[in-house]
Amino acid sequence: MQTITLYEKIAEQIIYQIEQGILKPGERILSIRQASLKHKVSISTILHAYLLLENKGIIESRPQSGYYVRLQINALLAEPTLSSPRAISTEVDVSQLVFEVLNAIKRPGIIPLGSPFPGPELFPHQQLNKYIYSIGRHLAPWHAVGDLPPGNQELRRQIARRYLQKGYILSPADIVITAGATEALNLCLQAVTKPGDTIIIESPVFYAVLHAIERLGLKALEIPTHPRQGIDLSALANALKNQQIAACIIMPNFQNPLGSLMPEENKRALIKLLACHEVPLIEDDVYQELYFGDTAPVPAKIYDSKGLVLHCSSFSKTLAPGYRIGWAIPGRFQNRVEQLKLMHTLALPPLPQMAIAEYLAHGAYDRHLRKLRRLFALQMQQMLQTIAESFPLGTKLTRPEGGYVLWVELPAQVKALKLYQLALQHNISIAPGPIFSAQQNYQNFIRLNYGHTWTADYAQAIKTLGRLAARLI
Ligand SMILES: Cc1ncc(COP(=O)(O)O)c(C=O)c1O
């Protein structure tokens, strides 16, 4: 475990005061001498703390005047408006483009603003490796058989315990362990559809959903989705009334790419509406633990009394991106999903499942999550601020309350695919808007990832992007 120095501790206290609104944007903070007296530390320790905060863009020094909390840009840039996809179901063909975008983030030295992954440096690899090693030494040979679907019993028990903490009572037997949320989504979708069916999706939507739809020969019907409140329920109600819909895939908590969080009453209304039409909901909840507010949002699954919600999540965004461990809670489709898992990839390797179960049992997960949430909230502010300072006039931004992606609307003349090509020439990857739509909408949108440790290189990459975007106008 990394130890925190005295000046970092003081910097953290100041960040906390800003987060709590005790120190407001634009307000002067203690002078170096006052702070040194207050904290009973040397002037140079305070200087170090202030320098750290300055480098992170949290405070600024004004000549002859002192140090100030930097102005937040929240009020300065507008939010993108509600999306308006055409109300027709479409066949999907985006996989080639997504493949290229994902390949680009593997380039050595690239700044991965287009990546769907958080920074690998932020996770407790050493701790998990220790468990892998100690469990591996005593692993009985029949374990591979014991962990056949629905998966490792202890891991399912630990996952069930976490839901219990959130007020959702379920048994380990309700959970199927999968290869990440990607497999969970694919299996759930397959469990409730047949080729040719129409599926309701959000617009914009996470591209892996489009992949699954493409792979299974389904059609997508995109529904407008609000950057703060999530899917438009009246448009959804209309679609359900007028068309034959086989299922619906939605992210109520911190939607990717919008970051939207459905209010609780909307989640309840969504579940009621779908139950009325007997349409299954596949709920993708991979970012639920990464909230910036005081309390965790609840999964929509909590309101499901008919077993119609197939809830999917994973540890990829919060604990172990490389382990590929996710799960589904498929409700009344449990048997079908278990069977499909068996037919699809049979089972998962036992070691990663057991190491995660052990990590959860030791109780360090919540502390790790608290750190991650604070870091992402701060880095979001830093990215927003840098974009506000360097992108062309007319740029619009989301203000996610969780997760680690930003959705950016550029002036209409800026074509995201062109910007993507130009950015690659500067060793910067971005995720262009058209990969988030079955209709290839969002031609002037990009998604940016603020989940990697914010350094001068990231700030510079954002400034370069702003310059390239301005060039395209
Ligand atoms: C919204 C969303 N759902 C699902 C996934 C897939 O998660 P996993 O890596 O666990 O397969 C991702 C990963 O980027 C995601 O952003």
User: 21 alpha carbon to ligand 1 midpoint, in Å?
Assistant: 33
Query: Are 163 and 170 spatial neighbours (Cβ–Cβ below 8 Å)?
Result: yes
**Residue appearing with tokens 């060039």:** 471
379-424 confidence digits (pLDDT tens):
998 899 899 889 998 899 998 999 999 999 999 999 999 999 999 9
List CB contacts of 117: < 8 A, sequence separation 6 or more.
Answer: 105, 316, 321, 449, 451
For a mutational test of ligand 1's pocket, the pick from 189, 287, 317, i.e. the residue with the most ligand atoms closer than 8 A to its C-beta, is 317
Res 273: pLDDT: 98
Distance 174 CA to ligand 1 centre (A): 21
- CA-based torsion, 3, 6, 9, 15: positive or negative: negative
Pocket test for ligand 1, best of 283, 316, 345, 353 (most atoms within 8 A of CB): 316
Distance from the alpha carbon of residue 430 to the mean position of ligand 1, in angstroms: 17
**Is the peptide bond between 150 and the residue preceding it cis, with omega within 30 degrees of 0?**
yes
Tokens of 49: 């703390």
Q: How close is the Cα of 449 to the center of ligand 1, in Å?
A: 13
Question: Which residue among 115, 188, 206 has the greatest number of ligand 1 atoms within 8 angstroms of its CB, and so is best to mutate?
Answer: 206
Q: What is the predicted pLDDT for the residue at 43?
A: 94
Coil, strand or helix at 428: strand
Q: Ligand 1 centre from 114 Cα, in Å? A: 14
pLDDT of the chain along its 473 residues, tens only? 456 789 999 998 998 888 777 887 778 899 999 999 999 999 999 999 999 888 777 888 877 778 988 765 554 578 888 777 877 777 767 778 888 888 888 888 899 999 999 999 999 999 999 999 999 888 877 776 777 889 999 999 999 999 998 889 999 999 999 999 999 999 999 999 999 999 999 999 999 999 999 999 999 999 999 999 999 999 999 999 999 999 999 999 999 999 999 999 999 999 999 999 999 999 999 999 999 988 899 999 999 999 999 999 999 999 999 999 999 999 999 999 999 999 988 888 899 999 999 999 998 999 999 999 989 998 998 899 899 889 998 899 998 999 999 999 999 999 999 999 999 999 999 999 999 998 889 999 999 999 999 999 999 999 999 999 999 98
Nearest atom within ligand 1 for CA of residue 184: 11
Q: Tokens 């790790």 — which residue?
A: 368
Q: Which residue matches tokens 């629905």?
A: 150
pLDDT of residue 1: 44
Taking the C-alpha atoms of residue 151 and residue 176, their distance in angstroms, rounded to an integer, is: 6
pLDDT digits (tens, 9 = 90+) for 253-276: 999 999 999 999 999 999 999 999
Q: What separation in Å is there between the alpha carbon of 181 and the centre of ligand 1?
A: 6
What whole-number distance in Å separates Cα of residue 267 and Cα of residue 298? 9
Mutational test site, ligand 1, from 182, 310, 376, max ligand atoms within 8 Å of CB: 182
As a whole number of angstroms, the distance between CA 228 and CA 433 comes to 18
At 55, phi and psi to the nearest 5?
A: -65, -30
Instruction: Based on DSSP, count helices (H) and strands (E) in the chain, helices before strands.
Output: 16, 17
- Enumerate residues lining ligand 1, CB below 6 A: 116, 180-182, 206, 208, 251, 256, 284, 286, 314, 316, 326
What is the whole-number distance in angstroms between the Cα of residue 311 and the centre of ligand 1?
A: 13
- The DSSP code sequence of 223-242 is EEEETTTEE-HHHHHHHHHH
User: Shortest CA distance to 402 belongs to which of 308, 309, 287, 278?
Assistant: 287
State how far the alpha carbon of 310 is from the alpha carbons of 131, 221, 248, 301, 332, in Å. 31, 19, 10, 8, 8
* Gap from CA of 179 to ligand 1 centroid (Å): 11
Residue 313 CA: nearest ligand 1 atom is: 10
CA–CA separation, 451 vs 338, rounded Å?
A: 33
Distance CA 342, CA 294 (A): 40
pTM: 0.85
The per-residue pLDDT for 4 is: 75
Residue 316 CA, ligand 1 centroid: distance in Å: 7
**Which of 210, 249, 256, 448 to probe ligand 1 with, by most ligand atoms within 8 A of CB?**
256
Q: Return d(Cα 362, Cα 380) in angstroms, integer.
A: 30
CA 16–ligand 1 middle distance (angstroms): 30
Phi, psi of 178 (to 5 degrees): -135, 170
The closest-lying atom of ligand 1 relative to the alpha carbon of residue 116 is: 14
Go through 353-382 and write b for each residue having 16 or more CB atoms within 10 A of its CB, e for each that does not.
bbbbbbbbeeeebeebbeebbebbbbbbbb
Beta pairing class for 111-112 and 428-429: parallel
Q: Which atom number of ligand 1 is nearest to the Cα of residue 326?
A: 10
